[in-house]
């Protein structure tokens, strides 16, 4: 067995685990089930780590079933493990392990008669994510994408005693399924034109035609499914509704890695299928996706600041960060990809930790509402509170956190492209982090003025079903250890020597279409080689003074935003009153209409989905 055989096994191992849990889960005592689930998650993580090590920065390929192509013609499915793909699978596996350990004492009573259901679903989720990250075949990617989705809908609605999770899961399921039909239609169009399903193969055959309406429609439709999963504006409406109600361990996975896989998929499909002749011009992709990214980042940040329901707040913060990741990959160069990859890894640690800590609040107080919990969690100040604050700083991108390094690298690549883009990075990460710091200060220290309920209706976070049925017990150890380790991992991403350089190489490989095609055993693509390094700045791979300063600036701004929210109402004086009046007017004029758009109605979501598709079609048709 050689290293490339590990690629299909990375999918097969969790699939087998899911089958084992579904078959014998009911016979296992709780402790044995927890231990087995942890061991299984660890096994896949080790397998992927070995794969990463054996690949050693090269691209591994595996033709499943041994169906190698002859003379560039084949019928099989290929798995392509380049460093970015294996890295995404590794990230998914690491988070799955964290979630499995976190959930050890989490569900006090698993569904009666089905103790194996939750671990089985989690392992299926892992198989879907790994398969999606490692496949080099468009239809196969769709299959694993759907596996991810189907399992995620069920996991979101897991608390069936409460109607709200079911409502969130239903919205999530319907919107994402509609988007998946779009993707399948797009794949059908590409297959009709080229007679191929492999990404590299389709890309090669697109060169036989010019870029016409079919290619544009196929590109937009395939991307729709991926960008809905990634929650790009205006496809993002399902995400806060699903995140607010899903069980905390599931939120950690959805926000930490599943949503990011949507961005990864979009980038992968662009580079392998559409970046050559007969595809979509780079300038068009760059313009549309950078614009969408900026809008997503800003909208997510503004909405994040407005929330008092902590899980919804973190969900909007994810949307904001997705915007930044989109900008990073839409720069269409290697430094952008490398920076974004690092940013995604750091963000996964920080965001999953914050969700895990929110789970502790829910466990202890049966509420995730910032106003209801005001000053109530003082006794947890030095454990949960401290980690919550650190998580906020990590979100802001304060050095030496991994988010800071990722943000700095992506910012530099973005700044080389458009001088004002770094400002978007600094401002949005400061706003989302400010909201988190504000929450932490209120809940764990009771700082600032007592928050008053605004006149407009808001999504409140109390009356949540406590997810654990033993009130008054001490916080279970795994629920404190896991977020601690996740934050440590976020720190490690920023401090590990050589990781930046390795990812810079990975980014170059990811944006090199000829290398991908060659790895898939196909002849080199015709036409001019698309140079991914066009317009790339001098590539740095580590901390720079500028990066550290901008990260620190985000942190300072975040603290300033939080302080304004906490102590601003206590200040007196005419200037302050005037500023307060301005803020209130701005909030009425700008923010309230924005919040009204997030009605949570399924019909609205579908209307926005259609609008987004139409917008993308119009934009790419105009720019092709």
Partner 1 sequence: MSRTARVRLFLCAAAVIAVAYTLACTGLPHFGAAVHPYGARAVGATLKQRTANTISSINFDQRAFDTLGEESILLGSVLGVSALLRRTGSEREARPRPVRVLPSTSLFGVLLLPVALLTGVYIVAHGQLSPGGGFQGGVILATALHLAYVAADYRVLRRIRPRELLDTLDAVAAGAFTCLGVAGLVAGAAYLQNVLPLGTFNTLSSGGLVPVINAAVGIEVGSGVIVLLAYFLDQTIGTESGDGGTEPNRPTDRDEDSPCPT
Q: In the window 399-458, what residues touch partner 1 (CB under 8 A)?
A: 456-458
Stretch in the footprint of partner 1 (CB under 8 A) among 135-143, 428-436, 534-542, 580-588: 135-143
How many angstroms from the chain centroid is the CA of residue 219?
22
Q: What angle do CA 258, 144, 359 make, to 5 degrees?
A: 30
Which residue number, 568 or 615, has a Cβ lying nearer to partner 1?
A: 615
Which residue number, 189 or 559, has a Cβ lying nearer to partner 1?
A: 189
CA nearest neighbour of 536 among 274, 273, 338, 291 = 338
Which residue number, 173 or 385, has a Cβ lying nearer to partner 1?
A: 173
Which residue number, 114 or 473, has a Cβ lying nearer to partner 1?
A: 114
Alpha helices per DSSP H over 103-212: 117-134, 138-156, 163-194, 199-206
Q: Work out the number of other CB atoms within 10 angstroms of the CB of residue 518.
A: 16
CA nearest neighbour of 508 among 529, 525, 531, 524 = 531
**Residue for token digits 């700095």?**
408
Footprint of partner 1 on 85-114 (CB under 8 A): 111-114
Least spacing, CB of residue 482 vs partner 1, in Å? 23
Sign of the torsion angle spanned by Cα atoms 86, 87, 89, 94: positive
CA nearest neighbour of 246 among 332, 315, 145 = 315
Stretch in the footprint of partner 1 (CB under 8 A) among 124-132, 384-392, 393-401, 484-492: 124-132
Stretch in the footprint of partner 1 (CB under 8 A) among 217-225, 258-266, 405-413, 515-523: 217-225
Element (H, E) at 18: helix 6-24
In the list 184, 214, 447, 579, the residue contacting partner 1 (rule: CB under 8 A) is 214
Distance CA 170, CA 177 (A): 10
Joined together, the tokens standing for residue 609 give 């989905």
Which residue number, 549 or 618, has a Cβ lying nearer to partner 1?
A: 618
Residue 208 in contact with partner 1, rule: CB under 8 A: no
Alpha helices per DSSP H over 496-544: 499-510, 513-519
Site string for partner 1, 585-624 (x = CB under 8 A): ----------xxxxxxxxxx-xxx-xx-xxx-xx--x---
Which residue number, 161 or 528, has a Cβ lying nearer to partner 1?
A: 161
Footprint of partner 1 on 474-503 (CB under 8 A): none
How many angstroms from the chain centroid is the CA of residue 418?
24
Distance CA 301, CA 297 (A): 6
Which residue number, 64 or 481, has a Cβ lying nearer to partner 1?
A: 64
The answer to whether the CB of 233 falls within 8 A of the CB of 299 is yes
Residue 146 in contact with partner 1, rule: CB under 8 A: yes
Footprint of partner 1 on 357-396 (CB under 8 A): none
Residue 184 in contact with partner 1, rule: CB under 8 A: no
Distance CA 268, CA 401 (A): 27
Which residue number, 45 or 189, has a Cβ lying nearer to partner 1?
A: 189
In the list 43, 58, 139, 476, the residue contacting partner 1 (rule: CB under 8 A) is 139
Footprint of partner 1 on 53-72 (CB under 8 A): 62-67
Least spacing, CB of residue 618 vs partner 1, in Å? 6
Joined together, the tokens standing for residue 13 give 């191992």
Q: What angle do CA 166, 366, 171 make, to 5 degrees?
A: 20
In the list 73, 208, 453, 470, the residue contacting partner 1 (rule: CB under 8 A) is 73
Stretch in the footprint of partner 1 (CB under 8 A) among 15-23, 84-92, 355-363, 478-486: 15-23
Peptide bond into 400 cis (omega under 30): yes
Least spacing, CB of residue 313 vs partner 1, in Å? 12
Footprint of partner 1 on 247-266 (CB under 8 A): none
Inter-axis angle of helices 30-55 and 117-134, to 10 degrees? 10
In the list 208, 212, 453, 470, the residue contacting partner 1 (rule: CB under 8 A) is 212
Count the residues of the shown chain that bind partner 1, applying the rule CB under 8 A: 103
């Amino acid at each position: 067995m050689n290293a490339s055989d590990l690629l299909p096994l990375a999918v097969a191992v969790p699939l087998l685990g899911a089958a084992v849990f579904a078959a014998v889960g009911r016979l296992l005592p709780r402790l044995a089930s927890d231990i087995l689930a942890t061991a299984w998650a660890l096994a896949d993580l080790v397998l992927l780590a070995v794969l990463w090590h054996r690949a050693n920065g090269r691209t591994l390929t595996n033709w499943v079933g041994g169906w190698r192509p002859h003379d560039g013609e084949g019928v099989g499915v290929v798995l392509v493990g380049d460093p970015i793909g294996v890295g995404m699978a590794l990230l998914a596996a690491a988070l799955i392990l964290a979630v499995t350990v976190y959930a050890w004492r989490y569900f006090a009573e698993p569904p009666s008669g089905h103790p194996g259901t939750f671990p089985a679903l989690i392992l299926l989720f892992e198989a879907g994510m790994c398969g999606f990250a490692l496949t080099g075949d468009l239809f196969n990617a769709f299959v694993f994408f759907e596996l991810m989705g189907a399992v995620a809908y069920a996991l979101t609605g897991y608390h069936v005693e409460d109607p709200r999770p079911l409502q969130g899961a239903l919205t999530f399921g319907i919107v994402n399924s509609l988007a998946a039909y779009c993707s399948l239609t797009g794949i059908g169009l590409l297959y009709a034109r080229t007679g191929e399903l492999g990404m590299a193969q389709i890309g090669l055959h697109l060169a036989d035609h010019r870029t016409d309406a079919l290619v544009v429609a196929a590109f937009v439709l395939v991307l729709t499914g991926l960008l809905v999963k990634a929650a790009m504006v205006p496809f993002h409406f399902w995400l806060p509704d699903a995140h607010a109600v899903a069980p905390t361990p599931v939120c950690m996975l959805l926000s930490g890695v599943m949503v990011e896989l949507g961005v990864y998929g979009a980038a992968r499909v662009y580079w392998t299928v559409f970046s050559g002749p007969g595809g979509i011009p780079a300038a068009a992709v760059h313009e549309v996706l950078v614009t969408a990214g900026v809008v997503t980042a800003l909208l997510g940040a503004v909405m994040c600041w407005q929330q008092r329901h902590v899980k919804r707040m973190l969900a909007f913060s994810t949307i904001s960060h997705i915007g930044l990741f989109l900008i990073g990959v839409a720069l269409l160069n290697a430094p952008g990809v490398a920076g974004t990859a690092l940013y995604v890894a750091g963000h996964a640690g920080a965001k999953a930790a914050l969700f895990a800590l929110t789970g502790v609040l829910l466990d202890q107080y049966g509420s995730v509402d910032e106003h209801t919990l005001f000053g109530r969690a003082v006794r947890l100040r030095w454990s949960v509170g401290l980690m919550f604050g650190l998580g906020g700083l990590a979100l802001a991108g304060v050095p030496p956190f991994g988010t800071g390094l990722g943000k700095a690298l992506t910012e530099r690549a973005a700044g080389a492209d458009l001088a004002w883009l770094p400002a978007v990075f600094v401002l949005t990460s400061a706003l989302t982090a400010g909201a988190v710091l504000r929450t932490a200060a209120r809940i764990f220290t009771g700082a600032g003025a007592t928050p008053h309920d605004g006149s407009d209706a808001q999504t409140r976070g109390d009356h949540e079903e406590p997810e654990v049925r033993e009130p008054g017990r001490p916080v279970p150890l795994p629920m404190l250890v896991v977020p601690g380790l996740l934050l440590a991992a976020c720190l490690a991403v920023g401090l590990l020597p050589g990781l930046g350089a390795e990812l810079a190489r990975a980014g170059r490989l990811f944006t090199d279409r000829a290398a991908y095609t060659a790895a898939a055993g196909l002849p080199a693509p015709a036409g001019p080689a698309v140079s991914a390094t066009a317009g790339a700045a001098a590539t740095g791979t580590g901390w720079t003074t500028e990066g550290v300063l901008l990260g620190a600036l985000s942190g300072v701004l975040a603290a300033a935003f939080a302080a304004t929210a906490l102590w601003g109402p206590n200040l007196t004086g005419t200037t302050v009153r005037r500023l307060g009046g301005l803020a209130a007017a701005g909030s009425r004029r700008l923010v309230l209409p924005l919040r009204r758009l997030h009605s949570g109605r399924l019909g609205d979501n579908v209307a926005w989905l259609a609008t987004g598709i139409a917008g993308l079609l119009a934009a790419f048709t105009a720019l092709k």
